[in-house]
A and B are shown apart, each in its own frame.
Chain A
Amino acid sequence: MKLLALLAVAVLVGLPWVVGSYLVTVMIFIFFYAYLGQAWNIVGGYAGQLSAGHAAFVGIGGYAAALLSARAGLSPWLGMWIGGALAAALGAVIGYLGFRFGLRGFYFVLLTVAFAEICRVVALNVDAVGGALGLYITFTGDPRQFQFQDNRVYYYIALVLMLAATALVWAIERHRFGAYLTAIRQDESACEALGVDTLRVKMLAMILSSFLTGIGGTFYAFYLFSLQPNAVFGIPLSVEIVIRPIVGGAGTVMGPLLGSFILSPLAEISRTYFAQGGWTGLHLIVYGVLLIAVVLFLPQGAYPALRRLVPRRPA
């Protein structure tokens, strides 16, 4: 298994030198969304606290880094940490409100959505952060400004982010913290009865998750060169973040990666081949049907299903 993983990483490292720039861009988004999905996985998959408002953290991280860069000349390499910290602060607030007041399941989902929507409406209306026009970043290609002339550098950054987040989740799974998270997901009352400080554990998961997502926001801002409230705080982005780990297998290490490697190419292919002429929109129907099919036939996610197919080898 480890050999397979190393081989896969080697392939990914070498890929940009053999394929064209378009495929490199597709891979960048696969890695990036896998990274965001992995960050979400900590609190949404392992801890079982479904958040449908993670776009708020992307937005805060991105806006913070972009504003610091444009107004204070602070390099995004530094700004990203501040963005992550601010996102973590919001995560702490949402987490505290949600967990302290005992919101579970769908109610917690809606709380996260409400906060993301509030961020969106505020960003849309406050001129100081760009309002509906959003923020535009000047293209300079200067590495000190987290900009690169060559697409491949972004590829490696995104790859590193994805691998680092995956390594972190892998480590968490093997640590006591991971055991607490899983236990809380399965039966929170039992955990409390056993004396686990569930509030503290969940808060930690939420803060970690939102911090990492905030850093992702900086990448988003400096790769796309523009931030718009509806795009970066909106529900569609939250859906993209959440869909990949769920399809791939929430609460597993490989889930977000698998989900991203399945869904992103699927979206690309269905858009390239089905979006013709008077049938615009057909490709999104295909996307929707595929989602339904995955849910019906692989409800635990793709990764656990794959594990069942591969017989366990003796160590």
Chain B
Amino acid sequence: MDATLVGQGLLSGFLFGGVYSLMAVGLTLIFGVMRVVNFAHGDMMVWGMYMAWLLSVRAGIDPYVGFLVCAAGLFVLGFVIQRGLVERIVDAPHEMQILLMLGVALVLENAALVAFGPDPARVRSPVAQGTIWLGPIFVDVARLLTFALAMVLTAALWLFLTRTDLGRSMRAAADNPYGARVIGTDVRTVYAAAFGVGAACVGAAGALVSPILPFQPTSGLGLSVTSFNIVIIGGMGSLPGAFVAGILVSVAESMGAVFLSPSMKELVSFGLLIAILLFRPAGLFGKTAA
């Protein structure tokens, strides 16, 4: 086995892990605070990508700047979904929540199909074209940038949850909703804000990833499945978990592509998932009270 190939695989996998982490962070936040499994996660991300595409094509705004707009847009969408839909079934059986978000996913995916057509799109960013060579191994600038941004975003979110009032209310409402109500927290608004923030992360992730990943309206499902894998492995509700797991899964897949057949690299991440589910279902960083 070529040492350069293995080295390159490790590095590429590591950097691409930043992309995975970004995808997973919003999902884990929503689950961590509200115990809602957002099956529309991938489709929301696709909308973030299309928003970035619109900004790039119609207004010439680079996605590495425009992602803030996408985050804001998705925040509104998330807030509305929570307030308008999810809130009403908070006491309903678990299955209903899944079905609701599936319905939302269907609507989002096909609205994108009607709005943008079925062709794959990609956002061209001049920033994202460069490569840095370290001997025989190269570093993709776009992925490096995304990795850095993933770290920054995760850190920012962490600070938000631990240092701001709203963030602390979210965590309180997550741990003990009755208690939070008792001390006067407007739990409904907190939940809606949490969903909104989670959606904003997803929107930002979509925008930041759009120069790297080609996307179509039907890309949502694959992104959802990947994100769920990562979040479970890292631990539902854990931000550092999402970050680390994203890198772990990406490196594992990359090694799978190097040593096995690349078309089977998904087996590696599913194998990891099953192992985690069996031996440490709370995930690598999760709290054990599942």
Contacts and interface: CB of A to CB of B under 8 A. Distances in A.
Interface of A: 50, 52, 97, 101-107, 109-111, 113-115, 117-118, 121-122, 124-125, 235-236, 239, 242-243, 246-247, 250, 278-282, 284-285, 287-292, 294-296, 299-300
Size class of the B contact interface (CB-based, 8 Å):
35 or more
Contacts of A122: 267
Contact of B277 (A101, A281, A295): A101
A205 B107 CA distance: 34
Contacts of A117: 225, 266, 270
Contacts of A300: 92-93
A291 B102 contact: yes
Given A285-B114, A288-B106, A114 B92 contact: no
Interface string B157-170: 00000000000000
Interface in B40-98: 85, 88-89, 92-96, 98
Given A113-B225, A118-B267, A284 B100 contact: no
Highest count of chain A CB atoms <10 Å: which of B236, B271, B273: B273
B159 to A, nearest CB: 28
A111 B274 contact: yes
Nearest to B31: A106
A295 B86 CA distance: 10
Given A117-B225, A300-B93, A288 B103 contact: yes
A289 B107 contact: yes
Contact of B113 (A107, A115, A280): A280
A111 B232 CA distance: 10
Contacts of B105: 288
Highest count of chain A CB atoms <10 Å: which of B89, B109, B278: B278
A124 B232 CA distance: 25
Highest count of chain A CB atoms <10 Å: which of B88, B98, B113, B221: B98
B102 to A, nearest CB: 7
Nearest to A292: B103
B99 A279 contact: no
A278 B105 CA distance: 21
A235 B103 contact: no
A124 B96 CA distance: 32
Contact of B104 (A113, A247, A292): A292
B261 to A, nearest CB: 7
A125 B93 contact: no
Highest count of chain B CB atoms <10 Å: which of A101, A111, A292: A292
Nearest to B272: A114
A175 to B, nearest CB: 24
Contacts of A290: 103
Contacts of A109: 98
A110 B99 contact: no
B111 interface: yes
Interface string B254-290: 0000000101101100110110011101000000001
A106 B37 contact: yes
A121 B85 CA distance: 35
A121 B266 CA distance: 8
A284 B108 CA distance: 10
Given A106-B37, A288-B105, A295-B89, A121 B264 contact: yes
Contacts of A242: 95
Contacts of B229: 114
A296 B221 contact: no
B110 interface: yes
B102 A239 contact: yes
B100 A107 contact: no
B106 A107 contact: no
Enumerate the 9 nearest inter-chain pairs by beta-carbon distance, A residue then B residue, closest first.
A288-B106, A291-B103, A281-B113, A299-B92, A288-B107, A292-B103, A281-B110, A284-B110, A295-B100
A124 B278 CA distance: 26
A291 B106 contact: yes
Contact of B114 (A101, A104, A107, A281): A281
Given A125-B264, A246-B95, A289 B113 contact: no
Interface in B1-40: 37
Given A250-B93, A279-B114, 15 more contacts: A52-B98, A107-B232, A110-B228, A115-B274, A125-B261, A278-B114, A280-B113, A281-B217, A284-B109, A285-B114, A288-B105, A291-B103, A292-B100, A295-B96, A299-B92
Given A114-B270, A284-B106, A296 B85 contact: yes
